Amino acid sequence: MAQPIADRRDVDFVLHEQMEVTRLTDNETFAEFNKKTIDMIVSEARSLAIKEIMPTQEPGDAGCDFEGGTVTLPECYSRPWELFIEGEWLAMSDSPEWGGQGMPKTVALAANEYFIGANVAFMLYHGLTHGAAKMVEEIGNEKQKKLYLKKLYSGEWAGTMLLTEACAGSDVGALETTAKKNPDGTYSITGSKIFISGGEHSMTPNIVHPVLARIEGAPAGTRGISLFLVPKYRVNDDGSLGEFNDVVCTGIEHKMGINGSATCSLTLGGSGNCIGELLGEENKGMRNMFIMMNDARQLVGLQGFGVATASYMHALAYARERVQGANMVKPREGSVPIIQHPDVRRQLLEMKANVEGMRSLIYFSGICHDMVKLAEDEETRLEYSQLLEVLTPIIKGYVTDKANEVCSHGVQVYGGYGYCKDFPVEQLLRDSRIFQIYEGTNGIQSMDLLGRKVGMSKGKPFMSFLARIKKTIDEAKESAELKPLAAKLEEVYTRFNEVVVALANAAMGEKVQSAFAQSHPLLTVTGDLTFGWLLLWRALTAEKALAGKPKKKDLPFYEGQIKTCAYYINNTLAVTLGRLAAIEGMDDAVIGISEEGFGSK
């Protein structure tokens, strides 16, 4: 039977062999999560995803309904929503103090891979709820934590994020929503927000909105933005629900993908009766919102990956079953499954290499989260938290760029059927396109990489990240089979170091605009290098397993890891060297061309 959503063998390989996740259980914090427990968690998540959530993907694509301020979600969401909440899946890696399960983040990511791959639109509601809860946990006062946290982490209430306005998209500082302080310490909120995922629905009795607004008299721009908690229904001191809080949905967007996720326009205080409470300090809203934004950006990378791995699994199963054309070297033996045709095999291996690079990167980010939690000294905690900061634009930007490519290959493998709604890959391609846009476009992620992460803390975190890559290269050079691949990766590594220094220097000088015109190409080559590292790490792990004389059934898997690494390094990284040369050249045509030169008005 074909593997739906994700290759369980590869999930187990990354968890237990590459990342050695059970080492975390040496610490008392995670002592109860032994291998048996971890495997059971992943199995239960896989079962719920396949049996209950995945059947909602196609009918959910019909979208949500809006009428008179009310949003109705697809009816098929009701049962899996209840089961997801009953299973306490929303707060898997969060503190039991607030209703979480306290498991390693790495294990939670493996479970979420299945949930998201089953239906990313359905899971958006839960992802944003978790982000809102995390923000309350990080910066909320004790009363706010008591009133909101367990309701959010349990999924009893939903959460969102209200940033965007018609006049303030990426330029958040241009927002016009205002907050007027009341005598009782609350604030009257007035304004309109757009592109709010899960902004209105009736699946939960309350929706809690973290809202960016400017207190009257506050400085202009991002310096004067504050953050407020604005529930759909006010919350009484005993936790019960009070009156409607004048948060009105005025419409939903009609999108090319993730149609089961209600993307809402909301008006706050249209009747002058919307009350919010300050979350964190005044004028620190942007800094505090980034607690949720960084979590959300890593979630978006996971979403891209979840959709990509599902597309790959569908394409692989189809290629094994679809009979069409003869084998090139056996033309007289009749038609064969299309997986025997060279170009189909190339596309499948391209998909495989990128999906497996994504899985290793995202699970590795989970290890970093877990090490921050377990760190016994500030130096270790800082090392892993800063490493996560470096990885975030790669996870959000590069992974979602590649996810869209993978999903496009998925359609191509199916041929004409891939373009039709009879099969799921066309929906996965449509769904995947949004991940390159929201939570900061990938152009913004690339600017973050060049403008902040490369030089953060005098470049130490970025150099520490590169040192991990070099360590794997040096280890692989000791292997007779992997040495040639390590040498090619080292060539890219060396050129990358040279180019990134030159580009970073240019970004601080007169050619700053030309340098930032190369920021997205820089993100791409950084991602290429990262995947090359992770796939070489995989190959090393597989080689060690082969040396241990594994079971016969595991031989193709381990040998496939080495072949996948060879394909990626010999093909993708050859292109990366060309990209590095282009970045180094820093052609100024992007800046030099006049606006009229782009075309006639």
Q: If you search the block for the tokens 């304004």, which residue do you land on?
A: 191
The secondary structure of residue 559, as a DSSP letter, is H
For 34-92, what is each residue's pLDDT tens digit? 999 999 999 999 999 999 999 999 999 999 999 999 999 999 999 999 999 999 999 99
Helix (H) or strand (E) holding 105, with range, is helix 105-118
pTM score of the predicted model:
0.96
Please indicate whether residue 392 or residue 292 has the higher confidence score (pLDDT).
Answer: 392
* From 52, 277, 356, 439, active-site residue: 439
Count of alpha carbons within 13 Å of 5, Cβ hemisphere only?
28
Residue 157 pLDDT > 60: yes
pLDDT computed for residue 511 by the predictor:
92
What is the rounded distance in angstroms from the CA atom of residue 435 to the CA atom of residue 299? 10
pLDDT computed for residue 1 by the predictor:
57
Helices (H), 480-518: 483-507, 512-516
pLDDT computed for residue 575 by the predictor:
98
Q: In the structure encoding, which two tokens stand for residue 347, read together? A: 């596309």
pLDDT computed for residue 450 by the predictor:
97
Q: Is 69 within 8 Å of 409 (Cβ atoms)?
A: no
**Is 333 strand, coil or helix?**
strand
What is the rounded distance in angstroms from the CA atom of residue 322 to the CA atom of residue 414? 9
Q: Which of 164-168, 265-269, 362-366 is least confident?
A: 164-168
Task: Tell me the mean pLDDT in the region 581-596.
Answer: 94
Write down the mean pLDDT value for the chain: 96
For 503-512, what is each residue's pLDDT tens digit? 999 999 999 9
Confirm whether 559 is a catalytic residue: no
Residue 427 pLDDT > 80: yes
Tell me the pLDDT band of 288, cut-offs 50, 70 and 90.
confident
